[in-house]
Structure 1
């Protein structure tokens, strides 16, 4: 294995990341990182200039957040390039005031990460990077130079190791109001702690492809590094290396005191390879996701040139198309020239440089043959027909290639292998650690959500996370964990016997062995789990094959109540003008149905309330989902797994048996969030604590009505107050709530 010095020596061939490690324990934490850049977009004299932060990653490349340019709620958009300008060598945001070697650059073009995807929530957006190609490279100096990029996994591992002999990482970037750049020292956290902190925050989508860090104890600033592409860097061997891009900040009132929590999107070696391929291809070429270089004018010309189709990504190209559908772009010239598709490869050069005849290679024999063929077809009136045939063949070939490529991609990424009629589209989220959720379409294009549970990973995860003080036998604990999944299937089956619009619909489940499909009974699965704890992975006698996955097929919804209550800036806009009383009544109807069927949900929270939106009709249906902790009602009450800490009832908190009234209490807390006038996702814990500390109904009613709802929804607030009584026997039932007027 290479030593640290040998790794570093191999990693760069140009000066990068050279900056004196900034002091700690100082009141002035301003910084002038030489890799800082500002991307500006000018429209015209009637519109303001827009700015986004960037990072110099190579002499001619500036990296920024892709979201700001290609999301549905985009701020900047991509095109046209001529309106963009990049400033380097400045450490202040205000126009006209700068320090260092200030220089402005035009850009030649923009590249989107070939695997960029925006998820259902901000927390599962992937590969959120975009590159701006400068028309000319920056002059490398002490004050203007790139940040260092890891060139192998060893450096990446060194960067993300908590503690160690190297100085702790820092985050640099702009503050909330853009006055200037400054830095914060951070304490990296282990992966297990990051996952725990993520779950404690009860974010709709779970921790994935990221790491976390907290502001160090000796930080003397209260401002936060907050805007745009604030990036974390690690100082190794006198250089700063790029490690991650800020994903989310959790702090009190947006002040960064010690302990404030940052989550970062983790850069991977694939991203760094893409950047290096882009450098290799140069400013006049587009870089495919496979590393292939193609002429820049071929990007977004409606003809796929890259093997992976990354040159024709619609989310990006919709801003760059220079021609209409059915037209061919001739390439860069003084005037953009478009010709009809039927003139492409017809034997006549219609573009100034012949770009439209890319399939035509002339030889004397071909010329003679073509002449004779043309005369014959003209005589019989078939010339037009020949062109149509040629055009159709080319389109058929392109369509077949694209379909084959997409089919290979879906098969490679699909967790299930047994049902070709269910086409995998994309991963849209994660549940518990070994669980992923995917969007799929059937052959009629009907959408579904498919929950995929890896059985081996479930067993491994629960074995690794057994409390050291647990007295329960390992076998019992692990079987209980897998039985939660089987319990969810059983509950969904029972609840779906009668259709209810206020529940996420269940369409069935299946299990797969490795490389095949087979329905596995509950007894077989328990036997499998029991054998696995011996350390030998068991197989099923019928096929001698180990169990691989269990799949649950459900209704695909559009967003959760969590996202409705706390919309993110980088997410598609949700209609915020829905009647909250109607939302509440819809959820109550769903809960009453669950209780009528003699089940307790046990994990009511905004993240488990889903919305099916028919925007064209301005109609929204709210549904309860995720029945992983649901339990059958018992006369003596229920004991066992309990729901999310933030929404637990008093009886759950103290470990007592609980009934359907525990769902009523949790729903009361959800309704508090519905009526709050100036709340935030992170202030709800304080609100809930204050509610729990109220001595009686009168004090609680006064607090909710006066300080949370601030005089609004007075009748609804009275109903909420009854739902939050400490004694479960004094709370209304869900059936009683259905008939209350509010």
Structure 2
């Protein structure tokens, strides 16, 4: 699969190599539905039966009308389509009619009651309240960050029964009161908002999606690798400079924004598990195969835990086995290779493609099992700028 277009104009002149991206970028005209899949295209309404597409082997993605919009208190935000879903809830693409410059946004919808498996009024433990507070963590972290290589936070709100709306500060005050009351109570009677919404900038795809397709790009070279590595390193270094550990770095949490002039801009996102960088942080979180050795062993860790995860992500981009690459097996092997020279030879001979050999040295420094010898995000930025290709 070819690289995404570098400019919007590529999608207009008919010469672009990536019709899937162009179809999503340009949307569909009035009276048409977007038909996704292997051959995405816009189809007339007359070819749609009760909202089900007649496109062969494709899924219809059409603008949702107001009655299907998951939020009820913001008429200026029009839901366009469902982008994805997970254990936390769903992410939608929406049109913000109040923003004439960047109207297309992503809205993460966290279904609180479904997550807590609760009804309108029930008896909850302090653990439930603690989880509810944890849901706000991504909002708190994102709202304090502003960098071209971190997914941009725009706003958030919560909705209770009916049309009651809580902004970020009202929501925070509500949770603080719950935590205060729970300090001396084993059970609480409280009614949580039904949903929390986080509005963010819209990105076109994730690094996970890119990894599943980039092996088919015949001209994928060190220049592309350098651009991706540097963008990600810049975003992570910024997060660390603000005193946070990401704790869930993996391809699915790294996003690409396709800018009409600048081309692909890679960004760190999904900071729901981020925490303050103290002297030592404890707790096994994130995706198991990307966890650092110190986290897996239950030891305290710092921002260096993120660097191990990032090293594995970098490996996925330059590895030999295509979609057959097993992150868990490689991670386990690296855990047991304490001597730097042995790791270097293993990476160079058994993991990394020969044409990407110039990246082995820096990756070897990222996947050092010894946290004290592992390079920091600031050192990584310097190291990447010294690599010539």
TM-score (norm 1): 0.41
Sort the Cα spacing of 1:665 and 1:307 in 2 relative to 1 into closer, same or farther, 3 A.
Answer: closer
Partner of 1:737: 380
Q: Distance in 2 between matches of 1:484 and 1:425?
A: 28
Q: Distance in 1 between matches of 2:156 and 2:218?
A: 31
* Residue 628 of structure 1, CA deviation: 0.4
Tell whether the 8 Å contact from 2:291 to 2:309 is kept in structure 1 after alignment.
Answer: yes
Aligned residues: 335
Tell whether the 8 Å contact from 2:316 to 2:325 is kept in structure 1 after alignment.
Answer: no
Partner of 1:700: 343
Matched, 1:709 2:364: no
* Residue 515 of structure 1, CA deviation: 1.9
Q: Distance in 1 between matches of 2:337 and 2:47?
A: 66
* Residue 511 of structure 1, CA deviation: 1.0
Partner of 1:166: none
Q: Distance in 2 between matches of 1:568 and 1:715?
A: 19
Partner of 2:162: 515
Which of 420, 423, 438 is the matching residue for 2:75? Answer: 420
* Residue 611 of structure 1, CA deviation: 0.6
Q: Distance in 2 between matches of 1:641 and 1:617?
A: 41
Tell whether the 8 Å contact from 1:649 to 1:665 is kept in structure 2 after alignment.
Answer: yes
**CA deviation digits over 1:610-667, x for unaligned, max 9?**
01124x65821000000000001112x1123511101000011011111010011110
Matched, 1:552 2:198: yes
**CA deviation digits over 1:418-458, x for unaligned, max 9?**
11111001111113x24111110112471111001111112
Matched, 1:451 2:108: yes
SS of the equivalent of 1:579 reads helix
Matched, 1:630 2:280: no
Partner of 2:27: none
Tell whether the 8 Å contact from 2:110 to 2:195 is kept in structure 1 after alignment.
Answer: yes
Q: Distance in 1 between matches of 2:286 and 2:45?
A: 51
Partner of 1:639: 282
Tell whether the 8 Å contact from 2:338 to 2:368 is kept in structure 1 after alignment.
Answer: no
SS of the equivalent of 1:415 reads coil
**CA deviation digits over 1:78-110, x for unaligned, max 9?**
xxxxxxxxxxxxxxxxxxxxxxxxxxxxxxxxx
* Residue 678 of structure 1, CA deviation: 2.5
Matched, 1:487 2:137: yes
Sort the Cα spacing of 1:309 and 1:738 in 2 relative to 1 into closer, same or farther, 3 A.
Answer: closer
Tell whether the 8 Å contact from 1:458 to 1:482 is kept in structure 2 after alignment.
Answer: no
* Residue 526 of structure 1, CA deviation: 5.2
Q: Distance in 2 between matches of 1:720 and 1:303?
A: 51
* Residue 568 of structure 1, CA deviation: 9.8
SS of the equivalent of 1:552 reads strand
* Residue 547 of structure 1, CA deviation: 1.8
Partner of 1:566: 212
| Higher helix fraction (1 or 2) | 2
**CA deviation digits over 1:541-575, x for unaligned, max 9?**
xxxxx621111000111111111111399xx9999
Q: Distance in 2 between matches of 1:500 and 1:411?
A: 33
Partner of 1:440: 94
Partner of 1:249: none
Unaligned 5+ runs, structure 2: 1-17, 21-32, 57-61, 119-123
Q: Distance in 1 between matches of 2:304 and 2:45?
A: 60
SS of the equivalent of 1:639 reads coil
* Residue 500 of structure 1, CA deviation: 1.0
Q: Distance in 2 between matches of 1:734 and 1:603?
A: 15
Which of 148, 152, 156 is the matching residue for 1:501? Answer: 148
Sort the Cα spacing of 1:573 and 1:450 in 2 relative to 1 into closer, same or farther, 3 A.
Answer: farther
Tell whether the 8 Å contact from 2:158 to 2:171 is kept in structure 1 after alignment.
Answer: no
Partner of 2:303: 660
The answer to which structure, 1 or 2, has the higher relative contact order (CA under 8 A, 6+ apart) is 2
Matches within 5 A, 1:151-190: none
